[in-house]
């Protein structure tokens, strides 16, 4: 059994957290600015550093896993999202809305999230998994995957968190900056070669070897991987790796280079700082003493809720070290933490490299439309066959995959429970599954005209002559019922998500379109109506003009990040509310989203207003 010395592990975890805080504090004041910058010191200093979701969300995850008996799963983390995370920025808000509608991971991270699934919300949360599984990247990567799919399933964000978790976990084994190239090789092996993050990091290494000048390498990265969205992950992971390469082992140079590259600077600086902390084990007092050891959070304004963080970094390191042996033993790692000297020579030669299990993770992220429930005798996988949406004019096909976990045949009876006008064919199905076999059954679901915004059906799984199993939830999202007029005549268009398909309606050509959608509210409700759009448009609510704008160069995002001319605070009346939009597309492709958020709860996405019906 290999050994990690308790004191040494504590010191590297402590340095990881302090480095995370230092890099995040350096980059936070210029977050989102394109750069390049020229910082060699903090542009803003405050005791405890600047609060950052990069660090504080990991405190929440650690607490959630501890309360769940040290089980790391997307379901455990989903509960923590709803209970503790108040902010609704970008992919966070979309995933929380999906969870509130009843969607389970990975669907919660994939549905209506095409824009943000490739962004930095999950790569910034990797350190906790490496610290809980030191020198065990196979385990840390599995943990990171369970985290990332909640809000980034199907996207580069998952690859980013897997990459960083592998690098950071392996760093506890390498324990030297001189091993950086080997660490990068290990981490890259955990993500597919055809993903953009793998390509961006590989290119960055080649450019650094050739040019040895961070500004010139940054130009190369920007030429090939630049994205107008500052949080787009491939460019930012490349900037982080560039910071590590250019540092030559100097902590300050690592975080300054990463931040000076621009874009998502609090994240790039924070991750570079955390990795250097693990590798160096001790950080320069110049960088860490001004911040102190207290942990700054966003609790004061509700960014975090129902949560008491550790009082300082030392306490956090104590708590993590105490948990490491539990996690390592539970996941079969041939490593223990003790007071003996660190001795890792007994580890298998390939221990730091991925095993075949990583390919399952790759497949799950490439196709994120399945949810698996592990029952007693059988595993049940619900395959949505794409987007989890439905409308009254088309049956939704769901495939149920059953895997027999027993070394004997089992007879399984499936019984659907549908109400509210929803129907499933066949309602019942019985099948015999051979030992360790897999069988698939298709079901076809019909929705009523009075389509609900979200509807959860239940599938009872009964294994004959075995203890009673459980019911599996299948949540469907009602498609939005748009009424569209192009040229002459109105027609109904069912739309799967919040994006308004202007290009589809106009056939990709210049022209004008009128569209309306009915919102049904059970209460009088204050909301913010958002219509981020890069075409000329005018939007009215109940006959009163709310918005009018034309900003053709605007990067359209599905959230509250945009010009104020695209958002209006208003009231919905009880019952039906009519939203009318007139859109004029010129020579550029047009893009838009219809967004409803709660201005009194940090712009939480509204989930109790129906957009799936009309009053006729």
| Tens-digit pLDDT profile for residues 98-131 | 999 999 999 999 999 999 999 999 999 999 999 9
- pLDDT tens column, 20-56: 999 999 999 999 999 999 999 999 988 778 888 889 9
Report yes or no: 88 and 96 within 8 Å, Cβ to Cβ.
Answer: yes
For 221-230, what is the mean pLDDT?
97
403 DSSP β-pair partners:
379, 438
- What is the distance between the alpha carbons of residues 370 and 384, in angstroms, rounded to a whole number? 6
Reported as a single tens digit per residue, the pLDDT across 370-383 is: 999 999 999 999 99
Contact present, 379 and 372 (Cβ < 8 Å): yes
CATH of 2-359, one of 3.90.550.10, 3.30.70.3270, 3.40.50.720, 1.10.4080.10: 1.10.4080.10
Residues 6+ apart with CB under 8 A from 616: none
Instruction: Name the DSSP letter for residue 177.
Output: G
- Write the DSSP symbol of residue 554: -
Burial 401-417, CB ≥16 within 10 A → b, else e: ebbbeeeeebebebbbe
For the chain, what percent of residues have pLDDT higher than 90?
96
How high is the pLDDT of residue 15? 98
Give φ, ψ of 298 to 5 degrees: -100, 25
Judged against a pLDDT cut of 90, whether residue 561 lies above it is answered with: no
Rounded average pLDDT over 335-351: 97
Percent of residues, the chain, with pLDDT higher than 70: 100
Domain ranges for the chain: 2-359, 369-477, 480-610
pLDDT in tens, 532-550: 999 999 999 999 999 999 9
Q: 3-state DSSP: the chain helix, strand, coil percent, rounded to 5?
A: 40, 25, 35
Residue 117 backbone phi and psi in degrees, to 5: -65, -15
User: In whole angstroms, what is the distance from residue 461 CA to residue 216 CA?
Assistant: 60
Residue 22's pLDDT is what? 96
Q: Is the pLDDT reported for residue 155 higher than 90?
A: yes
Cis upstream peptide for 426 (omega within 30°): yes
In angstroms, the CA 293 to CA 273 distance is 15
Q: What is the DSSP string of 313-374?
A: HHHHHHHHHHHHHHHHHHTT-SEEEESSPPB-TTS-TTTTS--THHHHHHHHHHS--EEEEE
Contact 542, 576 (CB under 8 A): no
- Residue 49: predicted pLDDT: 81
**CA pair distance 318, 297, nearest whole angstrom:** 19
Q: What does the mean pLDDT of the chain come to?
A: 96
Q: How far is CA 130 from CA 223, 275, 418, 463, 564, in A?
A: 32, 10, 43, 39, 41
For domain 480-610, give the CATH number.
2.60.120.380
pLDDT tops 90 at residue 332: yes
Residue 394 is given by DSSP the state: B
Rounded distance between C-alpha atoms, residue 553 and residue 12, angstroms: 46
**CATH tag for 369-477 (out of 2.60.40.10, 3.90.1180.10, 3.20.20.80, 3.40.50.620):** 2.60.40.10
User: What integer pLDDT is reported at residue 562 of this predicted model?
Assistant: 82
Specify the pLDDT at position 343: 96
pLDDT per residue over 412-466, tens digit each?
999 999 999 999 999 999 999 999 999 999 999 999 999 999 999 999 999 999 9
Mark residue 233 as left, alpha or beta (left: phi above 0; alpha: psi -120 to 50; beta: remaining).
alpha
Residue 312 pLDDT greater than 80, yes or no: yes
For residues 276-288, average pLDDT: 97
Query: How confident is the model over 402-418, as pLDDT tens digits?
Result: 999 999 999 999 999 99
* 77-92 pLDDT tens trace: 999 999 999 999 999 9
Is residue 616 pLDDT above 80, yes or no?
no
Contact between residue 388 and residue 111 where contact means Cβ atoms under 8 Å apart: yes
pTM score over 0.95:
yes
* Mean pLDDT in residue range 146-155: 98
- Per-residue pLDDT, averaged over 573-588, amounts to 97
B/e letters for 540-553, b = 16+ CB within 10 Å, e = fewer, are bbeeeebbebebee
pLDDT for 487: 87
DSSP 181-220: HHHHHHHHTTS-TTSHHHHHHHHHHHHHHHH--HHHHHHH
* 598 neighbors 87 (Cβ within 8 angstroms): no
């Amino acid at each position: 059994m290999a050994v990690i010395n308790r004191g040494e592990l504590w010191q590297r975890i402590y340095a990881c957290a302090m480095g995370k805080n230092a890099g995040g504090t350096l980059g936070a004041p210029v977050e989102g600015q394109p750069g390049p910058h020229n910082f060699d010191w903090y542009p803003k200093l405050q005791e405890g550093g600047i609060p950052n979701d990069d660090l504080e969300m990991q405190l929440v995850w650690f607490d959630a896993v501890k309360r769940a008996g040290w089980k790391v799963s997307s379901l455990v983390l989903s509960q923590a999202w709803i209970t503790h995370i108040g902010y609704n920025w970008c992919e966070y808000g979309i995933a929380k809305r999906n969870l509130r509608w009843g969607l389970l991971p990975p669907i919660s991270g994939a549905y209506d999230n095409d824009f943000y699934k490739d962004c930095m919300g999950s790569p910034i949360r990797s350190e906790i998994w490496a610290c809980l599984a030191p020198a065990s990247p196979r385990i840390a990567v599995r943990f990171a995957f369970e985290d990332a799919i909640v809000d980034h399933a199907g996207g580069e964000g998952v690859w980013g968190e897997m990459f960083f978790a592998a690098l950071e976990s392996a760093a506890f084994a390498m324990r030297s900056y001189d091993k950086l190239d080997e660490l990068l090789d290990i981490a890259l092996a955990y993500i597919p070669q055809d993903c953009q993050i793998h390509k961006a990091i590989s290119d960055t290494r080649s450019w650094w070897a050739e040019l040895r000048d961070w500004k010139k390498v940054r130009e190369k990265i920007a030429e090939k991987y630049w994205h107008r969205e500052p949080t787009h992950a491939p460019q930012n992971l490349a900037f982080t790796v560039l910071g590590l390469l250019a540092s030559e082992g100097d902590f300050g140079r690592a975080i300054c280079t990463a931040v000076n590259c621009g874009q998502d600077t609090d994240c790039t600086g924070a991750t570079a700082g955390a990795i250097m902390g693990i590798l160096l084990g001790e950080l320069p007092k110049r960088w860490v003493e001004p911040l102190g050891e207290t942990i700054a959070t966003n609790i004061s304004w509700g960014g975090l809720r129902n949560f008491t963080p550790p009082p300082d970094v030392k306490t956090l390191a104590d708590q993590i070290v105490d948990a490491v042996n539990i996690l390592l033993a539970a996941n079969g790692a041939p490593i223990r933490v003790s007071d003996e000297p660190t001795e890792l020579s007994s580890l298998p030669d390939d221990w730091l490299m991925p095993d075949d299990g990583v390919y399952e993770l790759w497949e799950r992220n490439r196709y994120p439309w399945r949810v698996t429930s592990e029952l007693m005798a059988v595993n049940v996988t619900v395959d949505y066959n794409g987007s989890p949406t439905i409308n009254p004019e088309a049956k939704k096909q769901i495939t149920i995959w059953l895997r027999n976990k027993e070394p004997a045949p089992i007879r399984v009876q499936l019984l659907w429970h549908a109400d509210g006008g929803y129907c499933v064919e066949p309602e019942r199905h019985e099948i015999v599954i051979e030992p360790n076999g897999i069988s698939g059954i298709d079901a076809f679901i019909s929705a009523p005209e009075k389509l609900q915004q979200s509807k959860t059906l239940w599938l009872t799984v009964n294994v004959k002559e075995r203890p009673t199993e459980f019911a599996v939830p299948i949540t469907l999202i009602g498609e939005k019922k748009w009424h569209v007029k192009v040229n002459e005549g109105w027609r109904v268009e069912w739309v799967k998500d919040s994006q308004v398909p202007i290009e589809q309606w106009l056939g990709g050509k210049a022209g004008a379109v009128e569209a309306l959608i009915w919102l049904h509210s059970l209460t009088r409700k204050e909301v913010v109506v958002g219509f981020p759009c890069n075409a000329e448009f005018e939007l009215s609510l109940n006959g009163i003009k709310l918005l009018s704008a034309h900003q053709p160069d605007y990067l359209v995002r599905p959230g509250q990040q945009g010009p104020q001319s695209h958002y209006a605070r208003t009231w919905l009346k009880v019952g039906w509310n009519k939203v009318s939009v007139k859109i004029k597309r010129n020579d550029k492709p047009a893009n838009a989203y219809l967004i409803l958020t709660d201005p009194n709860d940090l712009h939480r996405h509204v989930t109790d207003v129906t957009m799936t019906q009309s009053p006729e």
